[in-house]
Amino acid sequence: MTEKTRPPTAPAAKPRAKAEPAPGFGPGRIAGATLIILAITGVALLLIELTRFFMLVFAAVVLGAIFDAIADWIHRKTRIGRGIALALSVAGIVAIFAGAFMLFGSQLASEVDTIRQKIPAALQGVEAFLDRYGLGEQVRELAAVGGDDISRLASQAGGYALAAGSGIADFVLVLVAAIFLAGDPATYRRGLLLLLPQRAEETASLAIGDAARGLKGWMLGQAVSSLVVAALTWAGLAALGVPAAGGLGLIAGLLDIIPMVGPIIAGVPAVLLAFTVSPMTALWTLLLFLAIQQLQGNFLQPMIQKQAVDVPPAVLLFAVVAAGILFGFLGVLLAAPLTVVVYVLVQRIYVKTLLGKDIKIAGKD
C-alpha cells in the first residue's frame, strides 16, 4: 500500500478529565445546617409561647363574627348604615349582659354561695347513703386510689379559674379587636389572601367563606341550645325543690358550650345538692339531666349541625380533650368553634381541592 492510499489515522483520543470530587461536608455546610436547625427550633418555641395569643386572636374572630352577624341582621331589617348597625349590635350585647347582671346578679351570687356552702354536706349525705347499703368502703377505696388525680385536677381547675378571673385585660383586648374585625371584615380578608400564592387565592377565599358561614351557624344554634338548656334545668330543679336552682341552671347553660363534657360537669353539683334534700330527689335530678341531655343530643345538637357543619360527636369529644391539653381553660371554651373551623377547612382544602371529592358546604343544604 502506497503512501497516498494509506487511510488516515484516527486522531488520538484526548485523555478523559478526572471527575471533580463531591464537595465535602465541611465547616461551612455544618454551620449552615446548624443555623437552619436553630431557626426551625426557635420558630417552634416561639409558636408554643404564643399559643395563648393565637387563642385570643381566635376568640376575637369568634366574637367579631357574632357582632357581624347581628349587624347584618339589623342592617337587613332596618336598612340603616353598617356602622350604626354594628354599634347597635355591640351595645345590645353589652346591655343584655349588664341588665342580666343587675337584675339577677345578687340572686345568682347568693345561689352560687349556697352551692359552695352545701357541697360538703351533700358529700356527707352521699357517703351516708352509700354506707347504708354497704358500698361506702368500696367507694372510699376507689376515691383513695384516684385522690391524687382529683387533687391535681382540682388544682388545675383552680388555676384556670384564677386565670379566667384575672383576664380582664384579655377580655378588653378581645372585645376591641372583635369590634375592629366586625367593622371591616373585607379588609382583613383581602390582607390574608394577599399573603398567599395567587394560585391558592380562590381556594382560600372559598375556605374563608365556608368558615365564616360555619361559625355564624354554630353561634346561632349554640345560643338557642344554651338558653333552652338553662331554662329547662332551672325549671326542673325548681320543681324538684333542689337548692339554688337558678344558679345551677345558669351553670348548665354556660357549660352547654363545651361539647359532650359540659353537661356532665353541670350535672355533678346539681345531683350533690339534691342529696341534701333526699336520695330520691337526687335520683330524679339525675333523670332530669339525662332527659335534657337526650333533648340536647337528639334535637338541639342536630339543629346546630344543620346551621353549621355536621361534625361527628367523637371528633368533638377528642377536640375538647386536645384543646384542654394544648391551650388550657381558654382552649376548652373555644374547642367547639375551633373544631368547626378546622373541620370546614379540611373539607374545602384537602377533601375538595386536593382529593377532588364532593363535600357538603358549610351552612348550606
Write out pLDDT tens, residues 193-251: 888 888 888 888 888 888 888 888 788 778 888 888 888 888 988 888 887 787 788 88
Name the least confident of 63-77, 159-173, 218-232.
Answer: 159-173
- What is the rounded CA–CA span in Å between residue 302 and residue 309? 10
pLDDT band for position 160 (cuts 50, 70, 90): very low
Q: Which domain holds residue 207?
A: 111-166+201-354
Asked whether residue 96 is domain-assigned, the answer is no
Better-scored residue on pLDDT, 121 or 151: 121
Q: Are 311 and 342 in contact (CB under 8 A)?
A: no
Asked whether residue 315 is domain-assigned, the answer is yes
Name the least confident of 3-7, 103-107, 158-162.
Answer: 158-162
Rg of the Cα atoms in the chain: 31
> Residue 354 above 70 pLDDT?
yes
Name the least confident of 180-189, 209-218, 300-309.
Answer: 300-309
User: What pTM, to 2 d.p., does this model score?
Assistant: 0.67
Per-residue pLDDT tens for 248-274? Answer: 888 888 888 887 777 788 888 788 778
- Number of domains making up the chain: 1
Record the cell numbers describing residue 44, joined without a space.
417552634
> Residue 322 above 80 pLDDT?
yes
Closest CA to 345 of 215, 212, 207: 207
Within 10 Å of residue 184's Cβ, how many Cβ atoms? 13
pLDDT averaged over the chain?
Answer: 74
3 state SS for 149-210: HHHHHHHHHHHHHHHHHCCHHHHHHHHHHHHHHHHCHHHHHHHHHHCCCHHHHHHHHHHHHH
> Residue 364 above 80 pLDDT?
no
pLDDT band for position 295 (cuts 50, 70, 90): confident
> Residue 142 above 50 pLDDT?
no
Q: What is the DSSP code string of 233-260? A: HHHHHHHHT-TTHHHHHHHHHHHTTSTT
> Residue 21 above 80 pLDDT?
no
Asked whether residue 73 is domain-assigned, the answer is no
Better-scored residue on pLDDT, 29 or 118: 29
323-330 long-range contacts, CB within 8 A, separation 24+:
326/51, 327/51, 327/52, 327/55, 328/52, 328/160, 328/163, 329/160, 329/161, 329/163, 329/164, 330/52, 330/55, 330/56, 330/59
Asked whether residue 142 is domain-assigned, the answer is yes
Asked whether residue 214 is domain-assigned, the answer is yes
Per-residue pLDDT tens for 23-63? Answer: 555 677 777 778 888 888 888 788 777 888 888 888 888 88
Asked whether residue 245 is domain-assigned, the answer is yes
Asked whether residue 180 is domain-assigned, the answer is no
pLDDT at residue 133, as a whole number: 58
Asked whether residue 175 is domain-assigned, the answer is no
